[in-house]
């Protein structure tokens, strides 16, 4: 073949792969933005907006969701990372790095002439084998006193022992059953405040102050009323007020409202939480009666307070109930107080379901967000470990799955095996990147660990990021939640297959630009 023919052939290949090359480049660029944060020696990333505001973070999902990304493939990857965060609360960096590897190696094989369909077929076979191996290696957590949970929180919390300790104590306050509840997100109980001491307590925080300083700042052993509505008399039309009957009706509704407030007082309610506004007459009544009231409480905080105190949320019409019926809607708390310094109300020792709050202190406003992200990651990882067990960390789990996937490759014929090779490389990538971030040669360390795992039969061997020596991750207390690893590999596989299948990129017509609409038949 002549040089001209070779160039012509090369041009044909390039043109055929334009969409894939374009998308793969965007995926690789996105993955490179977070890969430097992986592992104990990973560094931080600074994000700067157009106004000069700065966010410094080591959190993968924060980097991905805050970075400017205009390429469609990059946005697809970011959406997968966001879904990973939503599902298990951690592992977005691992998912992103492995996705980048799958796509990059997939592109290499396609460029050599391997059909995309064969690469994807091999990907699926390798992913299925690796995921099955990961599930088989998970060790269940039966007790919240299990020391592995504290280690999981420490690893996910980037070695912040104080935060890991807070999260672990909060988990024990909440209990095993609550942590296993799919509807409960442990990370949601975490909040950070500037200028406060870190603490964990049995209760919830309402980020609002009491309505009036004339109300008590603290109440103990009290009943709690939660109103998912405005607390004011029933409304009457202005036109109706112009008539005698309408005005009489207005006075009657106001008197009825005051009688309902009296019922609240007589039932021994010391705290009233209201979704919307509180009428001025109710505010004055509560102040005189020694009742603390908080208005415009967020829906999420209102639900948490109701659950913790055992209260049943009612509408304003619920106040018409007979006192005995209304009493059944009330919750109870051991202590409620308004922290004026932090502008929040704390409800402690509720008589409903166990609930805890992790309050993370920060010295300055600049580190509040990052401390909160670290604590949320630790909480999410601990809950994932409770739900799905633990596995060796440091990339040891992924590396231990390599021989399993290679056996699958040996059993395949034809070009499908090339897709399996992509999975093998993706499984090696987490440990390789961790080693690289620690300043070691990733190829050398991967070879050492693979050989050591094969020779000893110990699947928990990985790299000590301080010394570079091969070490037992479980003996060193390096654990990861199995669910995080499993979801990360699944997410990486999904985005890789989606990207590899894209053959053409077409810009859609802007419907606002006008033009002829073609009927669909």
How much is the pTM? 0.81
The side-by-side arrangement of strands in the sheet containing 190-194 is 190-194, 356-362, 199-206, 344-350, 331-339, 218-227, 269-274, 292-294
Q: For residues 275 and 303, give the distance between their C-alpha atoms in angstroms, rounded to a whole number.
A: 10
Q: Which fold has domain 199-362?
A: GroEL (3.50.7)
What are the residue boundaries of the structural domains of the chain, listed by start?
A: 15-139+391-434+478-501, 199-362
Cα–Cα distance, 211 to 252 (Å, whole number): 26
Structure tokens belonging to residue 33: 């933005």
The domain 15-139+391-434+478-501: what is its CATH number? Answer: 1.10.560.10
pLDDT of residue 2: 35
Residues 118, 418: Cα–Cα separation, whole Å? 8
- Compute how many other C-beta atoms are within 10 angstroms of the C-beta atom of residue 37: 22
Q: Return the number of other C-beta atoms located less than 10 Å from residue 245's C-beta.
A: 8
Which pLDDT score, from 0 to 100, does residue 368 have?
84
State the pLDDT at residue 292: 96
pLDDT of residue 246: 64
C-alpha distances (whole Å) from 195 to each of 164, 270, 342, 347, 379 are 20, 29, 9, 20, 22
Q: Where are the alpha helices (DSSP H) in 242-279?
A: 244-266
Predicted pLDDT of residue 7 = 37
pLDDT on residue 350: 93
Tell how many helices (H) and how many strands (E) occur in the chain.
Answer: 20, 14
pLDDT of residue 513: 62
Per-residue pLDDT of the chain (521 residues; tens, 9 = 90+): 333 333 334 444 445 678 888 898 899 999 998 999 998 898 888 888 888 888 888 888 888 888 888 898 999 988 888 888 888 888 889 999 999 999 999 999 999 999 999 999 999 999 999 999 999 999 999 999 999 999 999 999 999 999 999 999 999 999 999 999 988 899 988 988 887 888 898 899 999 999 999 999 999 999 999 999 999 887 666 565 566 666 677 677 888 889 999 999 999 999 999 999 999 999 999 999 999 999 999 999 999 999 999 999 999 889 999 999 999 999 999 999 999 888 899 999 999 988 888 989 887 777 888 888 899 999 999 999 999 999 999 999 999 999 999 999 888 888 999 999 999 999 999 999 999 999 999 999 999 999 999 999 999 999 999 999 999 999 999 999 999 999 999 999 999 999 999 887 777 776 766 555 545 44
């Amino acid at each position: 073949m002549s040089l001209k023919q070779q160039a012509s052939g090369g041009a044909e290949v390039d043109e055929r792969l334009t969409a894939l090359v374009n998308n793969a480049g965007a995926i690789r660029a996105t993955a490179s933005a977070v890969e430097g944060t992986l592992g104990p020696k990973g560094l931080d990333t600074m994000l700067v907006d157009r106004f000069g505001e700065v966010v410094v973070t080591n959190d993968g999902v924060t980097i991905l969701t805050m970075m400017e990304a205009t390429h469609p493939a990059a946005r697809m990857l970011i959406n997968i990372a966001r879904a990973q965060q939503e599902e298990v609360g951690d592992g977005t960096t691992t998912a992103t790095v492995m996705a980048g590897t799958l796509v990059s190696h997939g592109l290499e094989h396609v460029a050599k002439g391997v059909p995309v369909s064969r690469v994807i077929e091999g990907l699926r076979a390798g992913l299925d084998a690796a995921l099955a191996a990961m599930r088989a290696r998970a060790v269940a957590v039966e007790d919240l006193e299990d020391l592995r949970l504290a280690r999981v929180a420490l690893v996910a919390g980037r070695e912040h022992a104080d935060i890991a300790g807070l999260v672990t104590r909060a988990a024990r306050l909440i209990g095993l059953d609550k942590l296993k509840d799919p509807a409960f997100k442990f990370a949601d109980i975490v909040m950070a405040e500037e200028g406060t001491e870190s603490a964990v307590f049995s209760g919830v925080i309402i980020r609002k102050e009491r309505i009036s300083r004339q109300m008590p700042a603290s109440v103990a052993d009290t009943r709690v009323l939660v109103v998912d509505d405005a607390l004011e008399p029933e409304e009457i039309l202005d036109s109706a007020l112009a008539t005698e009957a309408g005005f009489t009706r207005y006075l009657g509704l106001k008197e009825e409202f005051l009688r309902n407030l009296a019922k609240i007082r007589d039932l021994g309610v010391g705290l009233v939480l209201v979704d919307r506004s509180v009428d001025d007459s109710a505010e004055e009544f509560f102040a005189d009666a020694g009742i603390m009231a908080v208005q415009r409480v967020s829906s999420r905080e209102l639900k948490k307070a109701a659950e913790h105190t055992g209260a049943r949320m009612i509408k304003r019409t619920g106040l018409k109930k007979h006192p005995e019926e209304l009493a059944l809607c009330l919750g109870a708390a051991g202590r409620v107080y308004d922290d004026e310094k932090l502008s929040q109300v704390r409800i402690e020792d509720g008589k409903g379901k166990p609930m805890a709050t992790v309050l993370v202190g920060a010295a300055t406003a600049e580190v509040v967000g990052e401390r909160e992200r670290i604590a949320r990651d630790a909480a999410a990882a601990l809950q994932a470990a409770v739900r799905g067990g633990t596995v060796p960390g440091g990339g040891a789990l992924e590396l231990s799955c390599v021989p399993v996937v290679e056996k699958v490759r040996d059993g395949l014929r034809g070009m499908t095996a090339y897709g399996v090779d992509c999975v093998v490389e993706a499984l090696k990538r987490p440990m390789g990147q961790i080693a690289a971030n620690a300043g070691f040669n990733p190829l050398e360390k991967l070879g050492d660990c693979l050989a050591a795992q094969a020779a000893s039969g110990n699947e928990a061997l990985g790299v000590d990021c301080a010394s570079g020596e091969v070490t037992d991750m479980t003996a060193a207390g390096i654990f990861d939640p199995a669910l995080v690893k499993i979801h990360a590999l699944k997410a990486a596989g999904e985005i890789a297959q989606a990207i590899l299948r894209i053959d053409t990129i077409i810009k859609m017509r802007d419907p606002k630009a006008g033009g002829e609409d073609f009927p669909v038949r």
